[in-house]
Amino acid sequence: MGKIDFFKTFIKDRDVASIIPTSIRCVKKVCNHIDFSKDFTLVEYGPGDGVFTRFLLDKMSSGSRLILIEANEDFARHLKDTIDDPRVTVHNILAGDVESVIGEEDMGQIDYVLSGIPFSFLDKERKRIVLQATKAILKEGGKFLAYQTSGHLKKPVMEVFGNYDIEMEMLNIPPYLIYDVVKNGTQNGNGTVSDSK
C-alpha cells in the first residue's frame, strides 16, 4: 500500500494511529523485545499495511505463527491480498474481540501481543476490554508490546498487568514510547523512559 493510499485510509478512519507507516528503526527497536531464536505465536493488533508484519515474517522461524487483528476493512483486505504465507491468519475484527478468534488450544498460550492501535483514541472502558483480553490470551511470562505516542497507557496497563518498562524512539513520525509489559511480571512500572540508540 502506497503512502497516498495509507493517508487516505488515515483520513477515513480515526482509529488509524499515524498519518504515515512506522519507521523501520522503530520496528527494529520494538522487535528487539522478541526472541526470534524460538518458535512463537504472536498476535498483532492494528498491523495496518503490514510494516511490522513483513519484518516479523522475515525474522521468525518456520514453526512460528502470526495472527493479525485489523479492524480497518481496507487494511485487512490489503493484508489478505498481499501476504501469502501459511504462518499468517488475518481477522477483520476489533482488538477487544481477539478471544473470539483464538482457538481453545491457544487461550493463555500466546507468546507475544504486539499493538500499534492508538489507545489514546479509546475510551476508558474500551481500553480495559482490550487489555483484559490481551492478558487472557497471553501465556505466563508472555509479553504485551505496544508503541504509543504518549504515556497515556501507563495507568491502564498498571491496573490490568501491574508492570511495564518503557523506552522512547524519537526518530519516528510521530515519536513513540515502546511499552514492554509481562503477564504476571515484576518490572518496575516507575515511568522511567530510556532512549536507547
Task: Name the pTM for this structure.
Answer: 0.84
Set of cell numbers at residue 30? 520494538
Residue with cell 477515513: 12
CATH of 22-194 given 3.40.190.10, 2.40.160.60, 3.40.50.150, 3.40.462.40:
3.40.50.150
Q: For the residues 13-40, what does the mean pLDDT come to?
A: 78
Residue 178, strand partner residues: 147, 167
**What are the tens digits of pLDDT across the range 140-195?**
999 999 999 889 999 999 999 999 999 998 767 778 899 999 999 766 555 444 44
Q: What is the DSSP string of 117-149?
A: S-GGGS-HHHHHHHHHHHHHHEEEEEEEEEEES
Residue-range domain boundaries for the chain: 22-194
Largest CA distance in the chain: 43
Q: How confident is the model at residue 17 (pLDDT cuts 50, 70, 90)?
A: very low
Q: Is 108 left (phi over 0), alpha (psi -120 to 50) or beta?
A: left
From 197, 159, 103, select the one nearest 181 (Cα to Cα): 159
**What are the tens digits of pLDDT across the range 71-105?**
999 999 999 999 999 999 999 999 999 999 999 99
Instruction: Give the separation between CA 69 and CA 92, rounded to whole angstroms.
Output: 6
* Signed CA dihedral, 183, 63, 117, 105: sign only: negative
**What are the tens digits of pLDDT across the range 2-11?**
444 444 444 3
Which range among 43-47, 119-123, 139-143 shows the weakest confidence by mean pLDDT? Answer: 119-123
Which range among 7-11, 19-23, 29-33, 48-52 shows the weakest confidence by mean pLDDT? Answer: 7-11
Which of the two residues, 178 and 13, has the higher pLDDT score? 178
